[in-house]
Chain A
């Protein structure tokens, strides 16, 4: 099996470069039980070879895909990005044996060729996860204030200290922490407050928090996560004033806090294992 990473091959775009730099570790983790060679050139590959193409912004790459569809018939796509679901195209997807894609929407559930995957975490995770009792901050928020939810998140919880708040003007903007600093802070947080993304309920922050052993408290519009991440153990809120009480109650009870942290980690490990097993099954390797 071959893997061709195409997010930034044809043009240098923000998201193409972003996925090349930041999505590889997550995708490679999902494929860790799949034997594949990453290739940089499709010209010497036999037409019957199984190929996983990892890509983003696919509507801008029509010529590339026209050639690919002419020459190969055993294709799988890992479709990254597309927060608004605008790149969903059944005719395009019909050229692949199966599609794994991020930013789940209900309409994908009706297409048996699509498996939704979490958007995952940015590359650069630190190796030594701190135990929940050793974490320096109670909670953190690092990111942009899009609108009312994030403004209220900070407003309602800023008195819960110690905390770490770093507000950036835009995604990946000027005072964004580098990945070492970002993960170092996240690793030191008992809780992580996870608001809705820009358009979609998912944000990288959720999965990054899970990787760092921080307990996520999530905004869960339309109960999205109850359907997408089945049996998740997260605390969810409908308005951010509810988070304060949850944090304060857990902090008072160290045993309960440890129990919640352990249960969250156990769920995440099992969730990833099931997803990886499912990917192997679909790829039939």
Chain B
């Protein structure tokens, strides 16, 4: 699912409740990768564990925005991420939407998962939450 080796390891740490180790990798990679879709997904997982649900959704929204913008990815020398990760990003948004009980987000995310259309979904999120902007 991950193209960056360190991040596969970080993912495993989160799966195995090794949060201190996971946090160390997040801190170590922040400067270079803080806008990378894979990094943002893992940061969202870490935020969710720390009960920062809204910040986690913002990270996932940014991950989709960045992954859909080839110019942005090229400017940062980032690679487009895998379809599997994109699906996992959307599944995590769905899980968080259910947790905060936001029916609009639940419906939009379920539709996007059915249609496998993350681009339209990202545009919809941009309309609902227009303040998540990246510094290019």
Interface residues of A (CB under 8 A from B): 144-152, 155-156, 169, 196, 198, 219, 221, 238-241
Q: Which of B57, B61, B129 has most A Cβ within 10 Å?
A: B129
Binary flags per residue of B23-52, CB closer than 8 Å to A gives 1, else 0: 000000000000000000000000000011
Instruction: Give the docked Cα–Cα distance between A108 and B52 (Å).
Output: 23
Q: Are B102 and A147 in contact (CB under 8 A)?
A: no
- Chain A residues contacting B128 (CB-CB under 8 Å) are 145, 151
Which residue of chain A is the closest to B133 with respect to CB atoms? A146
Q: Are A148 and B101 in contact (CB under 8 A)?
A: no
Taking residues whose C-beta sits less than 8 angstroms from the other chain, chain B's interface range is 20 to 34
Q: Are B131 and A144 in contact (CB under 8 A)?
A: yes
Q: Are B130 and A145 in contact (CB under 8 A)?
A: yes
B104 at the interface (CB under 8 A from A): yes
State which of B53, B55, B58, B104 has its C-beta within 8 Å of the C-beta of A155: B104
State which of B52, B105, B129, B130 has its C-beta within 8 Å of the C-beta of A169: B130
B54 at the interface (CB under 8 A from A): yes
Q: Known contacts A147-B58, A148-B54, A221-B52: does B131 contact A241 (CB below 8 Å)?
A: no
Q: Known contacts A152-B54, A196-B54, A238-B51: does B132 contact A146 (CB below 8 Å)?
A: yes
State which of B51, B58, B103 has its C-beta within 8 Å of the C-beta of A148: B58
Q: Are A239 and B53 in contact (CB under 8 A)?
A: yes
Q: Are A147 and B131 in contact (CB under 8 A)?
A: yes
25 A-B interface contacts by CB (under 8 A): A145-B128, A145-B129, A146-B132, A147-B58, A147-B129, A147-B131, A147-B132, A148-B53, A148-B54, A148-B58, A151-B102, A151-B128, A151-B129, A152-B54, A152-B105, A156-B101, A221-B52, A221-B55, A238-B51, A239-B54, A239-B99, A239-B100, A239-B101, A241-B101, A241-B102
Instruction: Give the docked Cα–Cα distance between A156 and B102 (Å).
Output: 7
Instruction: Give the docked Cα–Cα distance between A102 and B85 (Å).
Output: 40
Q: Are A149 and B101 in contact (CB under 8 A)?
A: no
Secondary structure class of chain A's binding surface, majority of residues: mixed
- Chain A residues contacting B131 (CB-CB under 8 Å) are 144-147, 150, 198
Secondary structure class of chain B's binding surface, majority of residues: helix
- Chain B residues contacting A241 (CB-CB under 8 Å) are 100-102
Which residue of chain A is the closest to B96 with respect to CB atoms? A148
- Chain B residues contacting A146 (CB-CB under 8 Å) are 58, 129, 131-132
Q: Which of A144, A219, A221 has most B Cβ within 10 Å?
A: A221
Which residue of chain B is the closest to A147 with respect to CB atoms? B58
- Chain A residues contacting B101 (CB-CB under 8 Å) are 156, 239, 241
- Chain A residues contacting B52 (CB-CB under 8 Å) are 221
**A86 CB → nearest B CB, Å:** 13
Instruction: Give the docked Cα–Cα distance between A94 and B130 (Å).
Output: 41
Q: Known contacts A221-B52, A238-B51: does B57 contact A147 (CB below 8 Å)?
A: yes
**B79 CB → nearest A CB, Å:** 26
- Chain A residues contacting B130 (CB-CB under 8 Å) are 145, 169
Q: Known contacts A155-B104, A169-B130: does B99 contact A148 (CB below 8 Å)?
A: no
Instruction: Give the docked Cα–Cα distance between A240 and B61 (Å).
Output: 19
